[in-house]
Structure formats: C-alpha cells, structure tokens
C-alpha cells in the first residue's frame, strides 16, 4: 500500500514539474518527492530483483559504460532497469524507477545497472547493497565538490566495501589498484586494463601532472589478479581485446578511443555477473554495435552534415576528446567549445589550464560559447589557438556554427560541459532529430 501511494505522489510531482517547465524535458524532482516521503521505497523495490544491482561509478565514462553494460546484458536475454539519462544522484534513480514500476511499485526486471555519482553512490549503497560494482577511474573533477583526489578514491572505497559479490576495477589506476584500497573489501576483486603498448595513451591523473607514464605498480595477485579483460591494440575503430588469455578483434561503432577501454570495463563486469551463462562470442558482437550515450560522442545530423557532441568535464576527459577528434582525422571540422560553470559542471574551471589545446591549432575554433566563454577564449589564446567568434549565448553560437559549416561544407564538433550539452541538445532538437531522453 505504501509503495502504491509513493508512486502516485511521484507521478503527481512529475506532472507538476512538466507543467511548470512547459511540458518538456525530464526532472529529478519526482525522485526528490519520493525520497522525502518514502525513504524505504528504493530498497523495497530494488532488493526484489533476482540478480541484484550493479553500480557503475568513477570520474570519467560512467554514462557510456553503463549503457554498454545494459546492452550487453539485454542481448544475453536479461530484463534490465537503468537510469539511462545519466541522472546519477539517488533522486535521479528514483525518478527513473517511476517510469518503470507499475501502480503498486513493482519493477519488472531481472537486474538493475545504475550509474552513480561518486558521492551519491555512498548514500545509495547505505540503502541498497549492490551485488557488483564497476569502478572506472579516479581523476581530478569538480574540486569545489570533492576537494582532493584522494577523497574521491575514498568514496569509491566505500562502494567497494558495500559490494557483496564482485568488485571490478581499473587495474591501471594507481589509487584503485593500491593495497590500501582493498582494505575492508569482502567481495571478490577483478580488474581490467590496457596492454603495455597503450599505457601512454590512457594516462592516470598522476601521469597527467608529470607528463610521463609511471611504472606499473607491482600488484599482489592474491588481492588483485591480473586483468581478465585488457585492451591490447587500437587501429582506428578496430581493437584487439584480450579475454582470459585469448585475443579477439572487435570492430567498434562507438567513437572515441576512451570508449574502447570503457568497453573492456563493461565486458569485464558482465562476464563476472553472468558467470558460466556468458556467451563471449555474442558479447563481443554486441560490444561492436553499441552507440554513444547522449551527449557523449553522440552524432546528430544538422543541415545534412554531422555534428558530434563531445562531453568534457575535467583534464583527462578533454584530453581524450581531443585525441579522439585527431584519431578520426577530422581536422576540417568546424569546432565549437561550450563551457558552463553550473553546479552540475563544477564551479571551479581552473582545470582548463591543465589541458593542452595544441591539437586545435591547425583548424582553430570557430566559436567559443557558454557562461565561461571569455575565460575559455583566453585559455585558447595562451595555447596559440585562433578563435573566430566569442558568443556566450548558446543559441546564437549554434547559428554561427551552422553558417560556417554551410559556407565551408564541413562537419561540426562541439566540446561541451554537461549543462551546456543539455541546453545545446534542446536547441538542436528544434532544428533536427534529437532523441528525447526523459529522467
């Protein structure tokens, strides 16, 4: 009876929020109402799932990796619940649940795969103990929220300690692979990573500061066995993925070299959760077909030309976005950089000074936009990157981008922070087909 009332209140809150917002977009407000009025709803609902909950967390790659895990599990025949918008606070999970449960609060799913913000994941696992967790990396990000990077690692440590069955972590991340990180962890620990030839491509946060690849730390294999899944080689969109000692060639559809490592992470946790039921050949085939999550390398068509949205939110993420652009040989792109500093982006934009923008010198940047447009333009000037226009208004910036692309017949790429990405998708949705994603 209580779950039925909670669902009714949640739907009423959703309707009120949509009416107030003009009927567009999703919101975590219904989740907030549910969280405040019925704190036990989350646990009551998710603890009924026969295969439990997988939590995906870490600094970079959560949304895309979560999408990969979901698609892999669905192709293996499981019914999966997920917070597909990337609304990764507890209230965001509740808002997503509201769209999936019936009137009595029952969820028709075998397993849940949830992307969770590092800090909010700690609150989540205090209510719902995950069966498995996938921990991707620890990077400097939103220092106004998290402070120092070791604090972020401590949040992920709390998730690992709360996990009941298996912890899958990045064995190349010095903080996640440290012996101290495993203290108090009772679940099995499995790792994923890269081959030696790719270590200089996927740098840790410490490596980004020093500019050098640090030696791989010696690991006690009784604590963290050697990686079960490794990314061994990359040739364009084709990659060599090593699983249990055997190499497999996979042709990926998803853009971005960083997403190839995310794919290995996703495969690693799915193999552990499915156990002997896993069909490796089918999983590898599915992995090659996964498309980018919204705003994370998502490619739209505008005026008959592609426009790719590349989410950037910290030095490592921006670096990988620039590498991906170079790897796709799109030096002829019309480039836009959109930087906001809202709460969801992180208020502290000083991290932009830790990114090397030299890759943008050959073609320059057509438009810099967003709340911090002038700060970004100044940063690019210090790296001798020519900026044609500075236009803080996102709508006007899109118009400028379209004009340049039409005049030069070139594809477009937008490097964008999170809140600017949401606004840009809304603006572009008035001009072309953009998938509507409700939270």
* Residues involved in catalysis: 348
Question: Which run of H or E residues covers position 118?
Answer: helix 118-127
Q: Is 114 helix (H, G, I), strand (E, B) or coil?
A: strand
Looking up tokens 């809150």, which residue turns up? 13
Q: What is the largest CA-CA distance in the chain?
A: 64
CA distance 277 to 266: 16
Spatial distance between the Cα atoms of 133 and 166, rounded to a whole number of angstroms: 7
Angstrom distance (rounded) from CA 116 to CA 79: 20
Q: Which helix (H) or strand (E) holds 82?
A: strand 80-82
The answer to whether the beta carbons of residues 331 and 363 sit under 8 Å apart is yes
Which tokens go with 60? Answer: 């970079």
CA distance 83 to 86: 6
Token pair listed for 317: 């993420």
Residue 47 makes CB contacts below 8 A (sequence gap 6+) with 128
Which tokens sit at 333? Answer: 């792109």
**In angstroms, rounded to a whole number, what is the distance separating the alpha carbons of residues 155 and 145?**
12
Report the distance separating Cα 346 and Cα 336, nearest Å: 20
Beta-sheet pairing, 80-82 with 111-115:
parallel
| CA–CA distance, 295 with 429 (Å, rounded to integer) | 13
**117: which DSSP letter?**
-
β-strands 229-235, 238-243: how paired? antiparallel
Phi, psi for residue 153 in degrees, rounded to 5: -60, -35
Q: What are the φ/ψ torsions at residue 9 (nearest 5 degrees)? A: -65, -40
- Rounded to whole angstroms, the Cα distance separating 306 from 107 reads 38
Give the E-state strand segments of 303-411 in sequence order.
Answer: 305-311, 334-338, 365-369, 387-390
């Amino acid at each position: 009876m209580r779950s039925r009332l909670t669902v009714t209140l949640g739907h009423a809150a959703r309707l009120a929020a949509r009416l107030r917002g003009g009927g567009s977009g999703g919101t975590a407000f219904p989740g907030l109402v549910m969280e405040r009025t019925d704190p036990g709803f989350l646990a009551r609902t998710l603890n009924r799932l026969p295969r439990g909950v997988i939590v995906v967390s870490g600094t970079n790659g959560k949304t895309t990796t979560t999408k990969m895990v979901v698609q892999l599990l669905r192709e293996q025949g499981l019914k999966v619940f997920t917070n597909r918008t990337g609304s990764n606070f507890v209230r965001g999970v509740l808002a997503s649940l509201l769209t999936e449960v019936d009137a009595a609060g029952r969820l028709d799913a075998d397993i849940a795969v949830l992307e969770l913000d590092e800090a909010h994941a700690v609150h989540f696992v205090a209510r719902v103990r995950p069966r498995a967790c996938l921990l991707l990396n620890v990077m400097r990000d939103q220092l106004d929220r998290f402070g120092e990077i070791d604090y972020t690692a401590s949040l992920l440590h709390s998730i690992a300690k709360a996990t009941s069955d298996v912890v899958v972590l990045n064995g190349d991340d010095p903080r996640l692979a440290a012996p101290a990180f495993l203290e108090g962890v009772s679940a099995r620990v499995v790792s994923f990573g890269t081959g030696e030839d790719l270590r200089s491509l996927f740098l840790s946060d410490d490596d980004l500061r020093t500019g050098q690849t640090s030696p791989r730390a010696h690991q006690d294999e009784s604590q963290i066995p050697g990686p079960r899944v490794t990314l061994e080689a990359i040739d364009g969109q084709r990659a060599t993925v090593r699983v249990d000692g055997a190499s497999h060639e996979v042709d990926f559809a998803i853009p971005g070299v960083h997403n190839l490592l995310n794919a290995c992470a996703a495969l690693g946790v799915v193999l552990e959760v499915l156990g002997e039921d896993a069909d490796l050949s089918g999983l590898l085939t599915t992995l090659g077909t996964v498309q980018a999550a919204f705003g994370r390398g998502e490619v739209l068509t505008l005026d008959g030309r592609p426009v790719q949205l590349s989410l950037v939110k910290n030095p490592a993420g921006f670096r990988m976005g620039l590498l991906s652009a170079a790897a796709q040989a799109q030096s002829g792109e019309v480039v836009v950089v959109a930087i906001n500093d809202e709460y969801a982006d992180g208020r502290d934009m000083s991290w932009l000074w830790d990114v090397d923008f030299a890759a943008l010198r050959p073609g320059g940047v057509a438009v810099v936009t967003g709340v911090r447009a002038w700060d970004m333009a100044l940063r690019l000037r210090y790296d001798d990157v020519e900026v044609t226009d500075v236009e803080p208004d996102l709508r006007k910036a899109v118009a400028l981008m379209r004009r340049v692309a039409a005049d030069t017949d070139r594809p477009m790429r937008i490097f964008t922070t999170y809140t600017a990405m949401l606004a840009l998708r809304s603006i572009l949705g008035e001009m072309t087909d953009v998938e509507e994603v409700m939270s």
